[in-house]
Amino acid sequence: METSLKIFNSTSYYDAGQLLENLSIKETTREPLECKQEINSNGLFDFIIYGVLMNLVGLFGIFGNAISMIILSRPQMKSSINYLLIGLARCDTVLIIISILIYGLPVIYTYTGQLFDYKFIVHPKIVRFLYPLSCIAQIATVYLTLTVTLERYIAVCHPLQARSFCTYGRARLAVLVIVLFSFLYNLPKFWEVDYYAEVHWKYNVTIYCIYPADLRSNNLYVTVYVHWMYFFICYLFPFLALVIFNAAIYQRVRKANRDLQQLSRHQRREIGLATMLLCVVIVFLICNILPLASNIHETFFSDPPHWLVQTGNLLVTINSSINFIIYVIFGRKFKRIFLKLFCNSKLFRPGRDSPEFQTYDESIVTNMTNIELRNSIRHYHVNRSSTINRNNNVSNGSMRQSVKISARPASPGPCVYYPARSPVRSPSQMSATSSTQNGWSKKDVNSSL
């Protein structure tokens, strides 16, 4: 989120000389000012970008991230990569909520005149805390995305080291270190924002306006910390690392797709998961291009154009809200659990994409092939038919009892969807059917004995 100094664009700080100059302009032009700014100077554009698009996208993102956290927290989804994705969803949710509070709600008053109390009383008092929190969430989101990429790089390109490096404990430690680093790096931002009071020109009530504190007015602090360090830590280093790691992952995925028949089931899962997370990183890079351009313009030239800053903030909010869609499209297991938890199972026929078809794999992608499904069903029928065949000479009463007993598998097999039990037939029909299913004849039995 390109929040550095951008919250001050609408409430710039003025010294005594500038204040007198603005008062003289006000007396000459008779145009009212709010917090030393013209009313509705960018009202329509800000309302469309922030008041409509950001609020709608943010609400969808909060809803989608909440579902993602619920699904990824399921016991059958427990893994190191999913724990990193849960941390990413949490930071994205915090960033979305703060973006709505900082940008989405105040701009509604600018164009419609609603939410006056929030704009001039609540917002100036809470933005001094929300602004550094948004920077913390932004840095954490960037480096969690980088950590997810690094984890996939090790799992795909160095599978022998993945067992020792890609563990659940290391994932928890990585999330803790990233959050702690983000907090310590953005700690000075808690002293960058302040507010002052003035009397509103129309309602004659006391309102509060935001302005940069003394720390933010220090040229050395702004040049070194706000511009250069922010550029290297938040953009240059993570972007270069993401490009390098994902280029290596992409090359490995291409090679694996050419040799797909030679891969094991576990390797196919890792490749499928790497493909999904590759899409997450591509969306991240695309949505952060405009914020990167805005930061470069501010660091090396001057303040960026207003439309560039606003559109960049909207794209960052979109990036924090869209991961849920990527998980549903590319994560088969994620989609199955989502349908099972939040959709009506009667709408889906039993099968690989059915909510009733449960899997217990560690990754998001599917964990059972069609061949394994057919083998498990065939194994079930063999056990059942052999049990019936052994009890073929028993009376009809004991025959029914043996059928009931044989309907239970001898040992717990994989959790798959079995077809409905066929009607009870006569003993002769059942004997003939069992012999046919097993592929044995009396001649074959005698010869084998």
Using CA atoms, how far apart are residues 154 and 46, in angstroms rounded to an integer?
43
The pLDDT, as a whole number, for residue 38 is 73
Q: Which residues touch 257 (CB under 8 Å, ≥6 apart)?
A: 271
Q: Per residue in 202-217, pLDDT tens?
A: 888 999 999 899 898 8
The pLDDT, as a whole number, for residue 443 is 40
The pLDDT, as a whole number, for residue 306 is 86
Cβ proximity of 48 and 113 under 8 Å = no
The pLDDT, as a whole number, for residue 28 is 41
Q: Per residue in 241-287, pLDDT tens?
A: 999 999 998 888 888 777 666 666 666 777 778 788 889 999 999 99
291 pLDDT above the threshold of 70: yes
| 201, amino acid identity | W
Nearest of 187, 179, 168, 93 to residue 144 by alpha carbon: 179
Q: Per residue in 402-427, pLDDT tens?
A: 434 344 444 443 333 333 444 444 44
CATH topology of domain 42-189+219-342: Rhopdopsin 7-helix transmembrane proteins (1.20.1070)
For residue 237, what are its two tokens?
């280093």
Q: What is the 3-state secondary structure (H, E, C) of 36-74?
A: CEECCCCHHHHHHHHHHHHHHHHHHHHHHHHHHHHHHCC
Count Cα neighbours of 305 within 13 Å in the Cβ-side half-sphere: 5
Using a CB cutoff of 8 Å and minimum separation of 24, what contacts does 34-43 make? 34/120, 34/200, 34/201, 34/207, 35/10, 35/11, 35/120, 35/198, 35/207, 35/209, 35/210, 36/11, 36/12, 36/209, 37/10, 37/11, 37/12, 39/110, 40/110, 40/111, 42/110, 42/306, 43/110, 43/111
- Of the listed ranges 22-26, 164-168, 263-267, 314-318, the one predicted with least confidence: 22-26
- Of the listed ranges 73-77, 121-125, 302-306, 349-353, the one predicted with least confidence: 349-353
Q: Is 22 exposed, middle or buried (0-12, 13-18, 19+ CB in 10 A)?
A: middle
68: pLDDT confidence band, cut at 50, 70 and 90? very high
Q: Per residue in 70-114, pLDDT tens?
A: 999 999 888 899 999 999 999 999 999 999 999 999 999 888 888
For residue 58, what are its two tokens?
């943010």
The pLDDT, as a whole number, for residue 76 is 87
